[in-house]
Amino acid sequence: MTAPTTAGRPRLRELRTELGWTQQQLADKLAYLAWTLGQGHVAVNADMVAKWERGVKGISPRYRALLCHLFGVTAEQLGFSPAVSTVPSRPARDAESLVSLLDDAASLLDQLGAAGTALAPQMLSAWKDTVTSRRTMLGLLDPAATDPAGHARAATATLADLEQLAERYQDLHATVDPSALLTPVAAHVRMATAALGRDHTTAERRRLLRNRATVATLAGRLAYEDLGDALSGRAYYSMALDSAREAEDHQAAATALGYTAQLAHADGMTAAALDHLVAALAHAEHAPAVAPWLASIQAIIHTDSGDHTAAADALHRAEPTAHQRATQTPLLFDYGPAHLAAATGHVYLQAGDHTAARAVLATALDRLPRTEHRTRVLALTDLATAELHAGRLTDACRHATTAADLLHRAPYATGAARLRAFRTMAARPLGPRALRVLDDHLGRIAA
For the stretch 188-236, pLDDT in tens is 898 899 899 988 999 999 999 999 999 999 999 999 999 999 999 999 9
C-alpha 333: how far from chain center:
13
Q: Could you give the C-alpha distances from 94 to 32, 44, 253, 371, in angstroms and in order?
A: 12, 21, 35, 22
Number of H helices, E strands in the chain: 23, 0
pLDDT band at 108 (very low <50, low <70, confident <90, very high): low
Give span(s): CATH 1.25.40, the chain. Answer: 336-447
Distance CA 363, CA 356 (A): 11
- In DSSP notation, 378-407 reads HHHHHHHHHHHHTT-HHHHHHHHHHHHHHH
Q: Which of the 8 DSSP states describes residue 202?
A: H
Q: Is 107 helix (H, G, I), strand (E, B) or coil?
A: helix
Residue 29 has pLDDT above 50, yes or no: yes
Distance CA 370, CA 127 (A): 33
AA letter at 120: A
Give span(s): CATH 1.10.260.40, the chain. Answer: 9-78
Q: Which fold has domain 9-78?
A: 434 Repressor (Amino-terminal Domain) (1.10.260)
- Prediction pTM value: 0.66
- Residues 363, 369, 372, CA angle at the centre, nearest 5°? 105
Q: What is the pLDDT of residue 35?
A: 59
Q: Helical H runs in 306-412? A: 308-317, 322-327, 337-351, 354-367, 373-389, 393-409
Q: Which of 51-65, 89-103, 171-185, 390-404 has the lowest mean pLDDT?
A: 89-103
Residue 130 has pLDDT above 70, yes or no: no
Q: Could you give the C-alpha distances from 125 to 38, 108, 186, 229, in angstroms and in order?
A: 26, 17, 12, 22
291 close to 256: Cβ distance less than 8 angstroms: no
Buried b (16+ CB within 10 A) or exposed e, 316-335: ebbebeeebeeebeebbbbb
pLDDT band at 2 (very low <50, low <70, confident <90, very high): very low
Q: Which of the 8 DSSP states describes residue 3?
A: P
pLDDT band at 291 (very low <50, low <70, confident <90, very high): very high
Distance CA 266, CA 264 (A): 5
What is the dotted CATH code of the domain comprising 336-447? 1.25.40
